[in-house]
Amino acid sequence: MDSQVTMAELRARNEAAVQRMVTAVASFSSKQMLEPLLADGRCVKDVLAHLAWWDRWLVFILPAVPAMPHKAVAPPRL
C-alpha cells in the first residue's frame, strides 16, 4: 500500500518520537548518561546528541510545502 504522508503528519510523528525518547531517558542519572558503556566508549549522551543532529537535519531537509521546489541546505551545527 502506497500512501503519502503530509508534512503535518510527519512532524507529529517526529514530535511523538522525541517525546518517547525524552520519557525513556528522563529517569537516567547524570552518571548513567556519561558512563561509557556503549561501543567505542560512547555513552547515552553521545547517542542522544547523534539523534538530535539527525532530527534537526530532517527538519531542515524536508520541504515545508511538498509542491514547492526545495533547495538542499547544510545541516545545522549543534
What pTM was computed for the model? 0.64
Cα-Cα end-to-end distance for the chain: 37
Q: What percent of the chain has pLDDT over 90?
A: 33
Report CA Rg, the chain.
16
> Do residues 31 and 44 make contact, with C-beta atoms less than 8 angstroms apart?
no
Alpha-carbon dihedral angle through residues 55, 6, 62, 12, given to the nearest 10 degrees: -20
Q: Report d(CA 24, CA 42) in Å as an integer.
A: 18
Q: What is the pLDDT of residues 28-62, one digit of tens each?
A: 999 999 999 998 999 999 999 998 888 888 777 77
Domain boundaries, the chain: 7-61
pLDDT of residue 39: 87
The number of CA neighbours under 13 Å toward the Cβ of 13 is 8
Q: How many helices (H) and strands (E) does the chain have?
A: 3, 0
